[in-house]
Amino acid sequence: MKPQLWKIPESSISKKDIEKRNEELHLRLAEIIKRYKAVKFATSLAAEDMVITHAIARSGVSIQLFTLNTGRLHEQTKAMIAKVKEHYQIDIEELHPSARDVESYIGQFGLNGFYESEDAKKACCGIRKVNVLHLALTKADAWITGQRKEQAVTRAELEFFEDDLERGIGKFNPLFDWSEKEVWSYLSHLEVPIHPLHRQGYPSIGCEPCSRAVKEGEDVRAGRWWWLQQESKECGLHVQESQT
């Protein structure tokens, strides 16, 4: 008998309460724009990021969206990028890793060397994600993420604002105090497009070889880098919190 996979939570929060959350989210985005001029949002096209994408598009705030096209994305993610652009009539800049760095990594570790050691995994994430993010934010005053406190133990102390000391810019987590139920109720009530892999048991989506569906009852990030220990479930993009 096949194990039951994670399923998208049913909408359990009233539309009225979600509309209040939506108004609050719009106010948070407006506050960010008031404090900083050049603001960017890094989207993975997964659930939390689609909440923010919807709010940005519908509120009309001047926030530039970009995504890290690592070269190892699911085909469904690539299709989702195009779908979101068309649905909201917005631009999402696709940023790619250095071909030279990727070639160097493959020469040292092999294409899928990240399965062999944590050092190889960190090196791959560094080349395909962290370095690319750093370049994307070189001319930004602040950036936005879809992180929530509930997502992982490494994010338990997350707040709305934090100083990105490494880059010398502001960093905002407008969904920091949202629950998983609020995220999925928002997406349902406001009819926001969602990544197709969410319907196939993927609560968290990253690169194709490093993401998989999870069983019902498992931690929502259990499918990310599943071959590593729980404390290693981060890629380095948000290193200041402690790991990710």
Separation of alpha carbons 197 and 212, rounded Å:
9
Contact indicator for 131, 98 with CB cutoff of 8 Å: yes
Q: How many CB atoms lie within 10 A of CB 89?
A: 7
Give the β-pairing of 161-164 and 92-95: unpaired
Q: Single out the residue of 194, 197, 218 nearest to residue 206, CA to CA.
A: 197
Question: Which uninterrupted H or E stretch holds 172?
Answer: strand 169-172
Sign of CA dihedral 110, 224, 154, 178: positive
Catalytic residues: 235
By the 10 Å C-beta count (0-12 exposed, 13-18 middle, 19+ buried), 139 is classed as exposed
> What are the two backbone dihedrals, phi and then psi, of residue 68, each rounded to the nearest 5 degrees?
-90, 105
Q: Give me the sign of the Cα torsion angle 191, 181, 220, 27.
A: positive
Whether the Cβ atoms of residue 61 and residue 30 lie closer than 8 Å to each other:
yes
The CA distances from residue 109 to 22, 49, 189, in Å, are: 45, 31, 45
